[in-house]
Chains A and B, each alone.
Chain A
Amino acid sequence: MSVAMKNLKTFPGGLHPPDNKQWSADKPIEDCPMPDELVIPLAQHIGAPAEACVEAGELVKKGQLVGTAKGFVSVPIHASTSGEVVAVEPRPHPMGKALPAVVIKPDGEDAWLPGLQGGDPASLSPVELRDRIRDAGIVGMGGATFPAHVKLSPPEDKPIDTLILNGVECEPYLTADHRLMLERPEAILGGIAILQKILGVKRTCIGIEANKPDAIEQLTAATSDLPIEVVPLQVKYPQGAEKQLILAITGREVPSGGLPMDVGVVVQNVGTCTAIDDAVRRGLPLVERIATITGPGVVEPKNLRIRVGTSLQYLVDQCGGLKGEPAKIIMGGPMMGMAQLSLDVPATRGTSGLLLFTSENVPVRPEGPCLRCGRCVRACPARILPTTIAAYARLDLTDEAEAYHAMDCIECGCCTYSCPAALPLVQAIRGAKGAILAKRRKG
């Protein structure tokens, strides 16, 4: 493997934390049973939160609209099972505060809304396809939850020639996309066909990290007679970050402050791809997703197909419960996921995983002075100077931080991970980014 790895494509910088995927990589996706209550937040995506369009007491079917999109960068929210709306009120949200949510008491029938119709992608125009994707509420399923239809609406002056499917899953622990590629390759291929039609691209690649040889093999076989390349990539975090993935596969570098469309590329997660396939061919809105429940704090790690709105506590219960008191709960991957205050929050469309750590797995090191060892600089995939920017950020020197390209930080956390002095580098840079944006808004 090491010989083969040398020739694999990748990006400069990055690092390889122990990936610990073995716990759940061989576990087939299981359907998560129906919880007693579903809390469906109206803010599950980047952009304006949806606006509730149901009231307490109303009966809804699975897939029925419960929140309408507000603006272009926003998506609608749907009921993830049939039942009664018991409340529309602020509930604890993974963001750490109470945000508006639609609470549904399932009736147990899990009946789909009648009249949801699929269509043949071949007979639909690109605009119709895009509208279906938007109406199905599809967002980036890798965890960033950026509305998919926005990415699929590039301006006229930015022609897109390459579509990249992100099956890298470089975050340690997570195996949801891995299982998806093994179990639903036909849905991925169906989604690719739809995306190809919308964007009219010349080249399509599926990027997969080399630590998933079975997925590479399976997709290579499935795409042998299609115009799709499967590109094995070096095992390195953050290989799945959009800009790093584009650089590794196409050799094009997204300019500072630019977007992938500036270099003619659109990247979609494989999970998003299956959701698009479901939305177009079967007419199903995005109400469930695959998530990996794992970590040393859970009895039996699993890959579950979960309904949006299922509480994290319920998910943990399906995996045999907790091993002792959890010291850290992370929604998403360990590098970029969000730490949670409690298990009393719902899973959302962006919940790619749930990680539980006990206190012996969460070493707390005291913060020390910067040693100027440069490990963060070597690890930084955005090729900026994390230690310098963080130091400026701490002194509130926003202009200097901006001059050192703080805005190019992708917040992957490699700097903080690699820092021997345990400095909160990415946290400080994120603060600087906020300050820079605030300053720009002020003008």
Chain B
Amino acid sequence: MDESLNSAGYEIPPEMQGQVAVTTLDKIYNWSRKNSLWPMMFGLACCAIEMIGTAASRFDFSRFGMEVMRPSPRQADLMIVSGTVTKKMIPQIVRLYNQMPEPRYVIAMGACASGGGPFKEGYTVVAGVDKFIPVDVYIPGCPPTPQALLHGFITLMKKIEKQSLRSVPWYQKKPGEPIPIPVLGPDLMDPRKFDLIKQVCKPIEVQANEQPEGETGHE
């Protein structure tokens, strides 16, 4: 067992050392969680090929306890967003994220998933998956090498190690709200931004003349 795991800050009598492990709930929980992350089998674009390469024998991420790739979001706890996120695909990605059971983590693999990458200026590209779902670790590269992806996994493990059951969002009193699923309109519409869209799209002359009417509408 990990050396750091067995140092809860309690004094263990010398005759019992080596036979008894004393730890905290946080530590044992995080230790087991970080060593058995199950990624979702979910590839978007070029980065997915490098992800397959990382899973294969040369780099072999099963050394870190994550070889069990699950095609179903219900059985996965790590989503690797491996590639360009497009507007046509983001409703499905958000839905998949909502379907994953907590605790869940997201890795944005590569430049596109992190911020749009080389395709950021494109008209159907979402400039980073973090516009919709929370991301834990960003991995730079286009595509990141398998080594970089492994480094991203280890960074995520370190992050999990530091979490506390008291503060993580998934053990609060109320259940977490699902993320509203974006709608495909003339362009992608985020339900959280409907008010902003209405405000900006209002024709200018109407805005100037009928401001009071808009207020009465509110009442």
Q: Do A and B bind each other?
A: no
Interface residues of A (CB under 8 A from B): none
Residues of B within 8 A of A (CB): none
